[in-house]
Amino acid sequence: MNRQRRNVTHARTEARIVWRDGTFRVECVGQDAGMKVVVYYGRFMLAQETVDSADMAWQRGTEICRQLSSRDMAAHQRGLA
C-alpha cells in the first residue's frame, strides 16, 4: 500500500467585527496574530491601533469611543464645538 501525503495549506480566514457605539462605528479586522481596531465618525477615521485579540479589540474600541465621547462633551461644555 502506497500512501502519499499531501501538503495541505489552510487558507487564512479573516475575522471582522463591526458595531456602533453611540455616534461612532468601530471596525475590527484581523488574522491570526492580531486585530486592527478602527473608530469612525461618519466617514472620518478618528483612531486606529492594533491589538492582540478579539477581546482586546472590543475593550479598546469601547474605551476609545468613551474617551472620544467625553472629549466631545467637554468641548461642548467649553463652547468649542
- Residue 9 located in a structural domain: no
Cell of 21: 457605539
Q: Is residue 54 in some structural domain?
A: yes
Model-level pTM greater than 0.75? no
Q: Considering the domain boundaries, does residue 10 fall inside one?
A: no
Q: Is residue 6 part of a domain?
A: no
Domain membership flag for residue 49: yes
**Containing structural domain, residue 55:** 15-78
Q: What is the pLDDT along the chain (81 residues), one digit of tens a residue?
A: 555 656 556 566 788 999 999 999 999 999 767 899 999 999 999 999 999 988 899 999 999 999 998 876 565 555 554
- State which amino acid sits at residue 76: H
The tally of domains found in the chain comes to: 1
Q: Has residue 8 been placed in a domain?
A: no
Q: Is 4 within the bounds of a domain?
A: no
Question: Residue 3: inside a domain, yes or no?
Answer: no
Indicate if the alpha-carbon torsion angle 30, 50, 57, 52 is positive or negative: positive
Residue 29 vs residues 22, 53, 77: alpha-carbon distances, Å: 20, 10, 35
Within a 10 A sphere around the Cβ of 57, how many other Cβ atoms? 25
